C-alpha cells in the first residue's frame, strides 16, 4: 500500500481528492510511469501506511496520504506548538511572536508554522536563533520555496530542522492549497498559538481546524482599535495569554 499511495500522490501532485478517488476506483497502476515518477524524487517521504508517519495526523479529517520531507522527521514526536498569524504583521505582532516563541523554546517546545511571510517567518527564525527546533509545513511542492525571499530559511530548515509538504516536486503556489495545508499545522501541534490575526484570514482557518481537532488555542490579545482576530477568538473561548507562564501553567495544571 505504501508504494500504491506514493504512486497516486506523485501522479496527482498530492491532490487529496484525486488520490482518494484513484484508490476508491482501484485505478490501474502504470508501472513505467510509477518507476519514472519515483526516480524523480529527491526528498524523503512517509505514507499513512508507514511506521514513521506522524501519529497525530492519523487522528484528523483528511490525513495526507503521503508527506514529502527534508530534515529530521523524528521532530514530530516532540512537544509541538503551532504558532501562526498575519503575513502583514504589525510591530506589536512581531514582538509578541518573538517573545512567546523564545519562551516556548526555553520550555522545550518545537515550533510548527507554515513558512509564510510575517508571523510564520518570525516564529521559525526566533526558534532557530534561540537554539530550538522548528517544523515548516508548506502549501507548495516540497521543492518549491515560497515566498522566494525565504530561500535561506528554507535551506536551513531542510538541513537542521524539518520541512514537509503533502505536495511533491515543484507544485506551484495556488490559493486553495494554503488553507487546506493548515489542517496539517493544527494536526501536528498539541496546541496552537496565534499572536496576531485578522478576523477573516488563513490564521482563522487554522484556528477552525484546531477547534475541530479538540486542540487548545492561545491568543495574544489585540489592541482594541487594531486587528480583531485574536480578540474574537478569545470571546469564543480561546485562552488569553500575556506571558509564557500562562501556557506553561496550563500545561502543568490544565
Kindly list the domain boundaries of the chain, sorted by start residue.
2-71, 73-163+172-253
- Residue 153, all three cell numbers: 530559511
Of the options 3.40.50.450, 3.40.50.1240, 2.30.30.110, 3.40.1170.60, the CATH number for the domain spanning 73-163+172-253: 3.40.50.450
Per-residue tens of pLDDT for the chain, all 254 residues: 999 999 999 999 999 999 999 999 999 999 999 999 999 999 999 999 999 999 999 999 999 999 999 999 999 999 999 999 999 999 999 999 999 999 999 999 999 999 999 999 999 999 999 999 999 999 999 999 999 999 999 999 999 999 999 999 999 999 999 999 999 999 999 999 999 999 888 899 999 999 999 999 999 999 888 888 999 999 999 999 999 999 998 875 54
CA distance 128 to 111: 10
Q: How far apart are CA 202 and CA 190, in angstroms?
A: 19
Alpha-carbon gap, residue 254 to 247, rounded angstroms: 9
Q: What is the pTM of this model?
A: 0.96
Cα distance between residue 89 and residue 96, in whole Å? 10
Amino acid at each position: 500500500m505504501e508504494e500504491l499511495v506514493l504512486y497516486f500522490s506523485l501522479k496527482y501532485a498530492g491532490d487529496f481528492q484525486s488520490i482518494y478517488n484513484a484508490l476508491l476506483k482501484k485505478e490501474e497502476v502504470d508501472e513505467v510511469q510509477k518507476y519514472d515518477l519515483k526516480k524523480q524524487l529527491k526528498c524523503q517521504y512517509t505514507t499513512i501506511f508507514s511506521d514513521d508517519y506522524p501519529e497525530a495526523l492519523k487522528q484528523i479529517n483528511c490525513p495526507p496520504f503521503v508527506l514529502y520531507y527534508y530534515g529530521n522527521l523524528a521532530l514530530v514526536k516532540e512537544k509541538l506548538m503551532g504558532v501562526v498569524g498575519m503575513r502583514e504583521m504589525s510591530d506589536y505582532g512581531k514582538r509578541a511572536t518573538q517573545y512567546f516563541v523564545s519562551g516556548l523554546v526555553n520550555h522545550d517546545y518545537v515550533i510548527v508554522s507554515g513558512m509564510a511571510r510575517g508571523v510564520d517567518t518570525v516564529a521559525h527564525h526566533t526558534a532557530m536563533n534561540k537554539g530550538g527546533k522548528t517544523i515548516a509545513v508548506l502549501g507548495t511542492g516540497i521543492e518549491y520555496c515560497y515566498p522566494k525571499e525565504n530561500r535561506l530559511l528554507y535551506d536551513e530548515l531542510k538541513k537542521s530542522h524539518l520541512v514537509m509538504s503533502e505536495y511533491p516536486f515543484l507544485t506551484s503556489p495556488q490559493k486553495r492549497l494554503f488553507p487546506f495545508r493548515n489542517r496539517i499545522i493544527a494536526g501536528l501541534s498539541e496546541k496552537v498559538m496565534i499572536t496576531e490575526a485578522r478576523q477573516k484570514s488563513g490564521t482563522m482557518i487554522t484556528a477552525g481546524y484546531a477547534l475541530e481537532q479538540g486542540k487548545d488555542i492561545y491568543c495574544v490579545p489585540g489592541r482594541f482599535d487594531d486587528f480583531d482576530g485574536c480578540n474574537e477568538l478569545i470571546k469564543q473561548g480561546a485562552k488569553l495569554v500575556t506571558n509564557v507562564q500562562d501556557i506553561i501553567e496550563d500545561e502543568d495544571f490544565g
